[in-house]
Amino acid sequence: MNKPSNFQILKSNQITFVFLAFIGILGWNSFLAKRDDKLFKAYDYQKAKVEFCSSQAGWHPDCNNDKIYQKYYEKTVKEGASK
């Protein structure tokens, strides 16, 4: 019987390790892509809400108790920086 040499066994282990590492990297990148997508959606929603609330002439129910809009309002409208 021919026994596989140590070089062939080592090569097989290296291929397995590289393959598993590649799968791990793909999984990690997939996780990060999903996380980034959620962050961008949340940022776009808040930005759109601030723009919408700042365009309203008066009170609007969607703009009530919105902390992000209140910070924007304090910086721009109250200090006169919006003009």
Distances in whole angstroms, Cα of residue 58 to Cα of each of 19, 61, 81: 60, 10, 19
User: Would 20 be classed as within a structural domain?
Assistant: yes
Exposed/middle/buried for 69, CB within 10 Å: 0-12, 13-18, 19+? buried
- Residue whose tokens read 């598993």: 20
Q: Give the structural domain span for 15.
A: 6-78
- Model pLDDT, residue 6: 66
The Cα 43–Cα 60 span in angstroms is: 21
Q: Side chain identity at 54, as an amino acid letter?
A: S
Domain count, the chain: 1
For 19-38, how does the pLDDT look when each residue is reduced to its tens digit (9 = 90+)? 999 999 999 999 999 999 99
User: Would 83 be classed as within a structural domain?
Assistant: no
For 26-69, how does the pLDDT look when each residue is reduced to its tens digit (9 = 90+)? 999 999 999 999 999 988 887 877 777 777 766 667 776 666 66
Question: Which pTM was predicted?
Answer: 0.53
Instruction: Give the tokens for residue 44.
Output: 């776009």
User: Would 1 be classed as within a structural domain?
Assistant: no
